[in-house]
Structure 1
């Protein structure tokens, strides 16, 4: 079978690209691995944006303050479950985790600049006055992602 090649990032080549999955990449150059975190961050942003586009009225409503508070609370374990397993799987050191956290948060932060400018058009299901609450929640969530890169890795004591 002939070898297939795929250009991924900055001219780095991968052999047998059929076997490469998003987080099953161990021996790639560091810049390619950080690109994978960037893609992961984009997918997380896309999923979260879709959830709030279709179901945001249940979370961001002043008529239901308990659900609004719940949105702020629930995002913390959700962020932890989206970052720490990936850090552990990739066996990242402290400095690498900090960079990975930045690359996970960056795509969402960049795209949400545009999303917040057109909040009323994109989130038609939400009251336009909720844009401030939504922006506050975004800052909270992105801060949580960035802070995951600062938490020290557990050491195995033997």
Structure 2
């Protein structure tokens, strides 16, 4: 029995199978999801052929140290921004053996939001070594911490599938 809802488990299984068939590896860079993306993937048997590594970078210091996010980017745009998500995904891709990476940064709540960056705002980026780059700004709303995090997993999996052309 999986720790995750059946739709997330199904998507994780599809990703593991399809990436394994193509010989592709994944890395993740996670902030608001705290490792749930890589956790859902590694919940699937056979994922060791597909998952290279996961970076959990909850603090700005971790984003800079582990992923190479620029301090000036964090100062100018904040941790929850398109610019930061794109630098996170670049770091996850190029500091791993992965062919494709996904990165998420957002405000899961219940606190921490503002008028400009409300609870439920999440930036998700996916990138391939072949050069495909995707970014989505999601505004899930103040639907609850767990629901924001699960919604983020669903979108991240959609983006991994899209970048891989699976």
TM-score (norm 1): 0.31
Q: Which of the two has greater strand per residue?
A: 2
Instruction: Say which one has the larger Rg.
Output: 1
Q: Which of the two has greater helix per residue?
A: 1
Higher relative contact order (CA closer than 8 Å, sequence separation 6+): 1
TM-score (norm 2): 0.30
